[in-house]
Structure 1
Amino acid sequence: MMHKPARILTLLCAALLGGCSDPGAGVTAAPSTDDPSTSTDSTGSTTVAPTTGEPTTGTTTGTTTGTSTTSDDATTSVTDGEEAMCDVWQQDCPDGYKCMAYAPEGEPAFVGNKCTPVIQNPGKVGDPCIVEDGWWTGVDDCDYGLACWNINHDDNTGQCVALCSGTEDSYDCPGSADICVFWVPGIAHVCLQGCDPLLQDCPDAQGCLPDWASGGQQFVCLAEYSFEEGQEFDPCQFSNVCDPGLLCWGSDSALECDQDIGGCCLSFCDITDPQCTGEGAECVSFYEGREVPPAFADVGICVLPG
């Protein structure tokens, strides 16, 4: 059988500004649906059953107060200090403002971009940060070209990360090991640290998980929100609510999982040295039925053989 990830939102955390949050906090779009190649993610915030892996494709309807809209999704200029729509690639806001992703409060994912103010002495890449009111506002204390990511919804704190630069067809990240993740294409693109799921070589409190926006062809470091849960075979709704080294996968892939729920935390494994603990489980390629990137040819997941 074809093994598929559970319908989960990977919670990347606030794509342009949001950040990951704790499960159940209702956050932004996380990736994944049954088809790992599609993901809808929204704000980069993490919640149970979110939307992070699957970058949302629709354009935003933005309700900001700018003037002179030039097209349906075009930018507007800011007049009288008011916020207005902008182009996240062009970063075409007036001095003192940066172009950030935002969502109306209550929405699960980013819906558009707007100009938000940059404070004096803003945070640099890697610095702790805070978002004003919540991930959806697009207002934070990070510098130009940066966004507050991996947000803790309890206190609205996170870490400043770089936004992707360039264009949709030719983009880049300042860090050589960073990967441009298209959280919500056309709206939110953020640079996250690349990693190896078998090494789990991410900073503390982060797990190495698939970038579903790339169809799982890349792995990036995401805030981990398992807290006291998230052990192997625990129920889950999002990828980042499992402990590092585990991934939220379909419950029918392990006998130990509750078959009445959609997802359960299962272990990554090395195909060249398979070690699985589940009854009858085998180390099956993570890319079963899909293109296998050479760098991750040994990456497997412990599931029941199909």
Structure 2
Amino acid sequence: MMHKSARFITLFCAALLGGCSDSDSKATGTPTTTDDTSTSTSTSTSESTTLGPTSSGTTGSTTVDDPTSSVTDGEASMCDPWQQDCPDGYKCMAFAPEGEPAFTGNKCTPVVENPGKVGDPCKVEDGWWSGVDDCDYGLACWNINHADNTGQCVALCTGNEDAYDCPGSADICVFWIPGIAHVCLQGCDPLLQDCPTGQGCLPDWASNGQRFVCLAEYSFEEGQEFDPCQFSNVCDPGLLCWGSESALECDQDISACCLSFCDISDPQCTGQGAECVSFYEGVGGEPPPAFADVGICVIPG
């Protein structure tokens, strides 16, 4: 049987590469994203800046003297990401105190002059966690590359937690951190790996893998089959970060490695003793019809 906790590695990396979490974390609720997730959400996935509102306070809490600032050490927020109720010239963004593994609240951050549109390259101030970027109102810089804090502008979900939508008809609203970060990502097929260049098709863990979305891929020279991994998007497209005990070729002293998706209707696996087992056997639940043939190459058990 697949290592169930390892399946959650993929969730944070867009949040933390727009952070990432370790292999035992699941945010059904970051950019991560690598991680982060993205995830993530990540994701995890810094310089200081004077751009944007500031606050002052005493030790242990933050006393806000600016209406656009966050409160209570980032545990609460001064804005609603669904309502986007910030003052003119600001947008409501997810953020985290530096050092946290995932977004923890929302705050109003400034919209820059000549901001980026959906699909444009972007940059975050300080790091993925700051909530300050150069994308337009209603957008967030996602899939952050830690090396230079750059990413791509994506739309925030519209509506509310019970009735939500995305501006792009082909996009999926991903509840990266419910109540805090909801972003529109391109849907995809993990067997086709039909994402834009530089992105991989990975599970949306907020839906328990019922959907797949495109996330930035940062494997560089590594991330090949059986390579060690900590986060989802450090594996090459077509591979998933999964429990090392599922493949003899993986280093058994590490928690996870890159394993291949496979087509149950045409199973092809390269690992010793590996079989193409339904992805949903490890995840739990029934596979949606569109992904009924999605498998992963593992040692059955």
Shorter-chain TM band: 0.7 to 0.9
State the Cα deviation string for residues 225-250 of structure 1 (Å, max 9, x = none).
11111111111111111100000111
Contact 1:206 1:223 in 2 (8 A): yes
Alignment partner of 1:302 out of 281, 297, 300:
297
Contact 1:162 1:174 in 2 (8 A): yes
Contact 1:45 1:135 in 2 (8 A): no
SS at match of 1:240: helix
State the Cα deviation string for residues 139-197 of structure 1 (Å, max 9, x = none).
11111100001111111111100000100011001111111111111000100000000
Q: Please, which runs of 5 or more residues in structure 2 have no aligned partner?
A: 44-52, 57-63, 71-77
Corresponding residue for residue 257 of structure 1? 250
Corresponding residue for residue 245 of structure 1? 238
Contact 2:13 2:231 in 1 (8 A): no
Corresponding residue for residue 73 of structure 1? none
Separation in 1 of the partners of 2:292 and 2:41? 21
Separation in 1 of the partners of 2:95 and 2:233? 22
Deviation at 1:28, TM superposition (A): 3.7
SS at match of 1:138: coil
Corresponding residue for residue 23 of structure 1? none
Separation in 1 of the partners of 2:147 and 2:164? 33
Contact 2:41 2:176 in 1 (8 A): yes
Separation in 1 of the partners of 2:41 and 2:5? 11
Cα RMSD, aligned residues only: 2.6
Contact 2:89 2:110 in 1 (8 A): yes
Supply the AA of the counterpart residue of 1:33. D
Corresponding residue for residue 8 of structure 1? 9
Separation in 2 of the partners of 1:237 and 1:114? 29
SS at match of 2:9: coil
Corresponding residue for residue 291 of structure 1? 286
Deviation at 1:3, TM superposition (A): 4.7
SS at match of 2:129: helix
Separation in 2 of the partners of 1:4 and 1:270? 20
- TM-score with structure 2 length normalisation? 0.84
SS at match of 1:154: coil
Deviation at 1:65, TM superposition (A): 3.9
Contact 2:21 2:42 in 1 (8 A): yes
Distance 1:11 1:49, change over 3 A: closer
The within-5 A match list for 1:85-234 is 85-234=78-227
Deviation at 1:40, TM superposition (A): 5.4
State the Cα deviation string for residues 28-81 of structure 1 (Å, max 9, x = none).
447x638xxx435624452488863689xxxxxxx9749xxxxxxxxx9964xx
Deviation at 1:5, TM superposition (A): 5.5
Separation in 2 of the partners of 1:48 and 1:158? 13
Supply the AA of the counterpart residue of 2:69. E
Deviation at 1:8, TM superposition (A): 2.4
State the Cα deviation string for residues 77-97 of structure 1 (Å, max 9, x = none).
964xx4342000000001101
Greater percentage in helix: 2
Q: Please, which runs of 5 or more residues in structure 1 have no aligned partner?
A: 21-26, 56-62, 67-75
